[in-house]
Amino acid sequence: MSSPPVIAIDGPSGSGKGTVCRRVAAELGFHLLDSGALYRLTGLAGRHAGLAPGDEAGHARLARGMQVEFGADERGDERIWLNGEVVTDAIRTEQAGNLASQVASLGAVRQALVARQRDFATLPGLVADGRDMGTQIFPTAALKIFLTASAEERARRRYNQLKDKGLSVSLADLSREIAERDHRDASRALAPLVAAADAVELDSTGLTPDEVVARVLTLARERLIG
Ligand code: C5P
């Protein structure tokens, strides 16, 4: 039997990957892997356990053993459980993102999450959202997209998202944190954020989410059907 089709969408924070992946998965009726959430959950599990951010073996153990469930609440909004506790909002803070980026640089943690991520590839297919989906986790994906946007636009989008959630943040702080996180993600030795050689690069600066989704769907239909 042939393996389920995978669409790998990688790119930096704030490139619009989350929204685009969710909508493309819904349009195609595919499963969704939010790999960043797994790193965020590992960071949070480590904090709950009182681990130092650099404790590689401790975080790898948690990454392998944590019980994670992705689902939705009564209104259909995303809900995520970590060891039976709802952590949807807790993992979406900037602090959780920074912690995630620190534990994501630990090799044993990345290794511990490989099988967990590949398990998401089931029929009828998967849209995988991350940094290394096309390069490391699904190197034979049918379609690889590298989604970018200018740093200013990404900071502005993040700012609006957080403001909508009622969280108070400063645009200047966000821009600085995004630049720091980009730098750490792109310069780390393990699975740095780079486009796969066979990825289609898509710059979403100035495009609406609808326009980006439409472009990805066109490519998906060409590759998966055509
Ligand atoms: O995408 P998100 O902002 O939720 O990711 C949080 C952090 O997890 C990223 O900054 C990155 O360091 C790490 N990550 C990763 N590989 C992935 C997904 C996320 O290293 N596939």
Domain spans in the chain, listed from the N-terminal domain onward: 6-220
Predicted pLDDT of residue 225: 75
- Give the mean model confidence (pLDDT) for residues 193-209: 95
The string of pLDDT tens digits covering residues 75-112 is 988 999 999 999 999 999 888 998 998 999 999 999 99
Going by the DSSP 8-state scheme, the letter that residue 5 receives in this structure is: P
Confidence at 190, pLDDT banded by 50, 70, 90:
confident
Please name the residues in contact with 95: beta carbons below 8 A apart, sequence gap of 6 or more: none
pLDDT value, residue 185: 81
Sheet strand arrangement including 6-10: 31-34, 126-130, 6-10, 143-148, 200-203
* Tokens found for residue 83: 């060891």
Q: Is 92 in the pocket of ligand 1 (CB under 6 A)?
A: no
Mean pLDDT score across all residues of the chain: 93
Protein residue with least CA distance to atom 16, ligand 1: 131
Query: Is any atom of ligand 1 closer than 6 Å to the C-beta of 158?
Result: no
- The pTM of the full predicted model, rounded to 2 decimals, is 0.92
Q: In the CATH scheme, what is the code of domain 6-220?
A: 3.40.50.300
User: Across residues 152-160, what is the average pLDDT?
Assistant: 89
Calculate how far, in angstroms, residue 188's C-alpha sits from the geometric centre of ligand 1. Answer: 12
Is the per-residue pLDDT at 1 higher than 80? no
What are the CA-CA distances from residue 64 to residues 45, 115, 174 (Å)?
11, 9, 31
Annotate 163-212 with DSSP letters as a single string.
HHTT----HHHHHHHHHHHHHHHHH-SSS-S---TTPEEEE-TT--HHHH
Above 90 in pLDDT, residue 138? yes
pLDDT of residue 226: 61
Angle between helical axes of 107-118 and 56-65 (0-180°, round to 10): 10
**Adjacent-strand bridge partners of 203:** 148
